[in-house]
Amino acid sequence: MITYSDKSIELAQRLQSFMEQHVYPAQAIHAEQLAQAENRFSPLPLIEELKQKAKADGLWNLFVPEACGQHCEHGGLGNLDYFPLAEMMGRVLWSAEVFNCSAPDTGNMEVLMKYATPEQQERWLKPLLAGEIRSSYAMTEPQVASSDATNIELSMRLDGDEWLLDGCKWFITGAMHERTRLIIVMGKSDPDNPDRHRQQTQLLVPRDTAGVKVVRALTTLGYDDAPVGHAEILFDQVRVPAENVLLGAGRGFEIAQGRLGPGRMHHCMRLVGAAQRALEITCQRVQERSTFGRKLSQHQSVREDIAVSFAEIEMARLLVQKTCHRMDQVGSAEAFRI
């Protein structure tokens, strides 16, 4: 039987009241502000207002893991304890940003907490934890199958005391957002290294560096996902100082594995919440709408669909819970080993 800590239960109760008081009633305002925005990728006033409220209520940086507890007020949470909180935020997908818990910033902050130097943390982690800036993580490339990250080709080479980057990335979340200041870029720095997992390096690239060109905003299933968005970016003869390297040359793959384990699970946690909310809305709707003389809820096929969805969501929830529990016990690298 999986149980949550007292800290997780207490935070979940406070988060639920916040959602009921401030987030659910603001959904129409969010849609309206986005529809009326001159630039679809600029911060929405509603989010900025709710961020201040969440910060004041101590519902801030809830994603920070136990091992990095010194970076947040609540002292950090394990993956399992974070699950009910992330599931609740997933019920209104844009709400994660209100609590400074949105992707890709959470994964990027985790990278900076674990691998950055004190100087790098001062420059990038501090404003990210304060919710003042946003960031992107650039790994995927159009020309290669990027689910196998050893394939990536963006060239990184040391030229004197600078790194020189050349290549293209796509589906880079947040790169168009007005507040994005940092892109963590993974590239190939040592293509001839016989160890395929030591060929990659990760660099901290300020968004406004010369040669960083956002080519276009991409869509997924027709959605541009504004105001966050997913961009194609060209790195055209981009130069950054040698000290912008994370952890060290050749250690990029190691960082990617450390980052993507919890980062991917956070998406799963939120999507369980999104699915649960959709089911609840469906259940309300079928009580209100009637066809052929009866409510939708009285038609057998509708009842069956709802029952199947309920079972599927519960299965997904249990699988995510089990994975989180295992990650807490043995670490994400071991938990995902098949």
Ligand X SMILES: Cc1cc2nc3c(=O)[nH]c(=O)nc-3n(C[C@H](O)[C@H](O)[C@H](O)COP(=O)(O)OP(=O)(O)OC[C@H]3O[C@@H](n4cnc5c(N)ncnc54)[C@H](O)[C@@H]3O)c2cc1C
- Binding region for ligand X (CB under 6 A): 104, 137-140, 145-147, 171-173, 220, 230
Residue 92 or 228: which CB sits closer to ligand X?
228
Phi, psi of 75 (to 5 degrees): 85, 5
Report whether 332 contacts 107 (CB < 8 A).
no
Residue 104 or 227: which CB sits closer to ligand X?
104
Residue 230 or 317: which CB sits closer to ligand X?
230
Least distance in angstroms from the C-beta of 147 to ligand X: 3
Least distance in angstroms from the C-beta of 184 to ligand X: 9
DSSP bridge pairs for 235:
167, 212
Residue 129 or 233: which CB sits closer to ligand X?
233
Please tell me whether residue 119 adopts helix, strand or coil conformation: helix
Least distance in angstroms from the C-beta of 312 to ligand X: 20
Please tell me whether residue 184 adopts helix, strand or coil conformation: strand
Residues sharing a CB contact under 8 Å with residue 49, sequence separation 6 or more, in sequence order: none
Residue given tokens 């790194």 in the structure block: 163
Instruction: Give the C-alpha distances (Å, rounded to integers) separating 270 from 41, 82, 277, 318.
Output: 22, 11, 11, 14
Which residue type is seen at 314? E
Least distance in angstroms from the C-beta of 275 to ligand X: 17
Residue 171 or 336: which CB sits closer to ligand X?
171
Q: Is the peptide bond before 84 cis (omega within 30 degrees of 0)?
A: no
Reference 239, options 307, 303, 155; nearest CA is 155
Least distance in angstroms from the C-beta of 289 to ligand X: 32
